[in-house]
Every structure is written in C-alpha cells, then in structure tokens.
Structure 1
C-alpha cells in the first residue's frame, strides 16, 4: 500500500493510534541475542526479584523498535525517515504488557533544500494502563508539492 502525502498536506495535531502488541519473553530473549545486551535486568528472573521492579524489564531499544514498527503502515514514497530525537524510556515495560502507539504531527519546518520540509511526528508507546512508557520525535524529510 502506497500513498503520496506531501509536506504541505500534513496537518499539525493529526494523530493515529495503532492496535496493541503484547511484549513476550521471546521478544526479550531474541532482542538480547540480536544486540548482545544480556544484562540481568532483562534476563535473570531471580536477580530481578531482589530489585525495585521485582521482575524482568524489556530493553528500551526493544520497545523503541517495536513502537516504530507498529507505526509503519502505508508507504509514503515522497517521505523519508530522517532520524529520531528526544528518545526517552519513561516507564518500564514488563513481560506480558501490551503497548499501543500514538503518532501525532507535532511540527513542520523548512529544510535546507527548498523542495523538502521536515515533519516532526511525536511517537508515544502506551501500556495497557494508559501510561506513556516511551516517547520520541520521528523526523521525516518530505517532498513539497511545489518548492
């Protein structure tokens, strides 16, 4: 599925919300294997019982990756991911937590090449309790209809 949405067509405060995704032990184990991050906070259930959260927590980078993937829907052939700013892991995500994501157009600004603009999309991952657990700004470099 593909739809061209140009810089001029993005509306501030427009938002969309994804369906849910439950974080599993398998997600955590696979992410540890892919990244080499085997810290006990993620992998050692017994050690975690002695810590503040009393259970294993998902890697922040796992939640970031899942959240961004959840917001990827239609392909916009005139927009390109330019990067991410202000990434924050606000609350822990535990095995069995279900997250949804909300993406809101927060800002539009000029770019050094006049045929493009930057669209800032605020991405929030929200757990089943309604708590924001992760937030970041996704920067999109988007073609203008007319420079």
Structure 2
C-alpha cells in the first residue's frame, strides 16, 4: 500500500508490529548460497551438536534481511532508507523459530544539509516466539518535509 506521510506527520513513540514468520532450513541454505557464507555454525548440523548452542544458527545478515522485509509493508512516497546504525544480535536465531518485528519511532531531527528533508529514526527489534530480541538496530529514514526549513 502506498501512503503519503511527511516528516511533520510522523510522531516519536509511534509503533507498529509485523506479522510472524517461521525460519526454515531453506532460508539458511538460500542465504548461504547468495552470500557465500557457508560457515559451519550455519551449515554443519553434526558439528553444531558439539557446540554450546547445540544446533545451527541463522546468519546475522539473514536476520537483518528478514527484519527489513517485515518492515516493508507500506511504502511511504515521501521517505527512503538513509541507513542503519547500532546493529546487534543479542540472542541467536534458530531453524524453527517464529519471529516478528517491532518498529518504534525514537527520534526526529532536521537533515543537516537539506532543508526540505528530515531524518527519522525507527528502532527495530526482531523477536522470537519467546519474545526474546534476536536483532536490534536503528533504521534511519530520509523523509520529505511539508515545509522546508528556512536556511
């Protein structure tokens, strides 16, 4: 769905939650093929049984891609991604985990060089079925202002 929300329309504290998605072995295998990351923590089930986690762990970059995809429902014609900051993986993500993402607006500020835009920070948390955070990051959006700031 396309929406039109200017910088001024977005409020700190707004929050949204995505639908759920279950992580599969296929997710991990395809991601390994796309990235070339065949590290044994992701690919070798027998070796992983001998390690502290006891099972394969999804790639951090796979977790990040899934979180980004879960947030991509509505398309704001007035915004685009500026970048991501403070990316962390506090808990592992496993095959069979069902995740959802929680997105919360935490900061708004003028763009330092472009008076017609502002920067919105949306804190992103990917949570498993036990409500444990498996990914945390700040997604920075470049958002058009309704009225440019005076220079």
Q: Give yes or no for the alignment of 1:97 onto 2:134.
A: no
1:58 maps to: 58
CA distance in structure 2 between the partners assigned to 1:136 and 1:84 by the alignment: 7
1:47 maps to: 47
Q: Give yes or no for the alignment of 1:37 onto 2:37.
A: yes
Per the TM alignment, residue 75 of structure 1 is displaced from its structure 2 partner at its CA by 1.0
| Structure 1 unaligned residues grouped into runs of 5+ | none
Q: Give yes or no for the alignment of 1:128 onto 2:129.
A: yes
- TM-score w.r.t. structure 1 length? 0.99
1:146 maps to: 147
CA distance in structure 2 between the partners assigned to 1:114 and 1:52 by the alignment: 51
- TM-score w.r.t. structure 2 length? 0.96
Please provide the CA RMSD for this pair: 0.5
1:114 maps to: 115
Per the TM alignment, residue 49 of structure 1 is displaced from its structure 2 partner at its CA by 0.7
CA distance in structure 1 between the partners assigned to 2:80 and 2:43 by the alignment: 35
2:6 maps to: 6
CA distance in structure 2 between the partners assigned to 1:140 and 1:22 by the alignment: 27
Per the TM alignment, residue 74 of structure 1 is displaced from its structure 2 partner at its CA by 1.2
CA distance in structure 1 between the partners assigned to 2:74 and 2:19 by the alignment: 15
Tell me the alpha carbon deviations over residues 46-85 of structure 1, each in whole angstroms, 9 at most, x when there is no partner.
0001101000000000010011100111111110100100
Tell me the alpha carbon deviations over residues 77-131 of structure 1, each in whole angstroms, 9 at most, x when there is no partner.
1101001000001100000000000000010011021110000000000000010
Q: How many residues are matched?
A: 147
2:88 maps to: 88
